[in-house]
Amino acid sequence: MFCYFNAGNKLTKMGITEIWLPKTNKMKILILGATGRTGKLILSEALKQGFEINCLVRKPNKIKVNHSDLKIYKGSPEVISELRRAIKGCDAIISALNISRKSDFPWSKLRTPKTFLSDVMKNIISLTEKNKNVRIVVCSAWGVADTQKEIPFWFNWFIRNSNIGVAYKDHERQENLLKSSNLNWTIVRPSGLINLKKKQKIIESYQNEPKPKITISRKSVAEFMVNALSNEKLIGRSPVISA
């Protein structure tokens, strides 16, 4: 069995050298947010594609998968020593972290600090910036930063007037940190997330072209983010994805 890998683990903004290596030389990735609704699907997709995976989670018992390519670390990426343990030896990072609320109700109280995402990003950059070959794919949202003007007015109202906006503000902070770093980053901005199992045709948009659809399945987001690891065309880009 063989898996897709990059020569010398090197991904650069100038391009990627692509070769086939035996399974013993898999790319090793750290997944953050692996117990969330999208994160669980990212974990499943990454295992299916043959990656070796570390996960850093507060409650390891929430991960029901038992796999030889999966190693689970207990802890929080807010604590740099715990993140350091989990990130050791990894070639890439996928983050599906978010500012969580106690329920989906827009005005529900927050479960995480208001600067959770940007605080974690500072830790990631601190630990990885010296290694310019590290690849990172982060899940943000359509409506963050320059895409705020693209989203429907009614959703813009919720962002401005409810706790949904707390997450959007911190997504923008983490995006700015990432864009100022030396990492090989991709920021994925999905439209409204839905639970749908069937295969979708993903629309990739820049500057509102083509105009994004209102929703996309979490499954499609997971597939796009894992595939982005080996897509050099996405390095340094922030696609809006919808379906």
What local confidence, expressed as pLDDT, does residue 159 receive? Answer: 95
- Single-letter amino acid, residue 59: K
When pLDDT is averaged across residues 74-88 and rounded to a whole number, the result is 97
Two structure tokens written together for 124: 């990631």
Answer whether the bond into residue 210 is a cis peptide, omega within 30°: yes
pLDDT tens-place string over residues 103-139: 999 999 999 999 999 999 999 999 998 887 899 999 9
Q: What is the distance of C-alpha 103 from the center of its chain? A: 21
Could you tell me what percent of the chain has a pLDDT over 70? 90
Q: E strands within 90-213? A: 92-95, 135-139, 184-190, 192-194, 203-205
Contact present, 186 and 228 (Cβ < 8 Å): yes
- Say if strands 70-74 and 52-57 run parallel, antiparallel, or are unpaired: parallel
What local confidence, expressed as pLDDT, does residue 82 receive? Answer: 98
3-state secondary structure of 21: strand
Other beta carbons within 10 angstroms of residue 126's beta carbon come to 13
Four-CA torsion 51, 57, 60, 66, nearest 10 degrees: -10
Say which residue the tokens 């929430």 belong to: 62
When pLDDT is averaged across residues 44-63 and rounded to a whole number, the result is 97
What local confidence, expressed as pLDDT, does residue 133 receive? Answer: 82
pLDDT tens-place string over residues 144-180: 999 999 999 999 999 999 999 999 999 999 999 999 9
What local confidence, expressed as pLDDT, does residue 45 receive? Answer: 98
14 pLDDT more than 90: no
Other beta carbons within 10 angstroms of residue 115's beta carbon come to 17
Domains and CATH numbers, the chain: 2-242 (3.40.50.720)
Contact present, 111 and 97 (Cβ < 8 Å): no
13 pLDDT more than 60: no
* Residue 55: closest CA among 85, 24, 25: 85
pLDDT tens-place string over residues 24-43: 468 999 999 999 999 999 99
To which H or E segment does residue 197 belong?
none
3-state secondary structure of 195: coil
* Residue 183: closest CA among 130, 230, 141: 130
Two structure tokens written together for 128: 């990885």
22 pLDDT more than 80: no
* Residue 95: closest CA among 49, 38, 20: 38
What pLDDT band is residue 6 in, cutting at 50, 70 and 90?
Answer: very low
217 pLDDT more than 80: yes
The answer for residues whose C-beta is within 8 angstroms of residue 48's C-beta and 6 or more apart is none
Summary mean pLDDT of the chain: 91
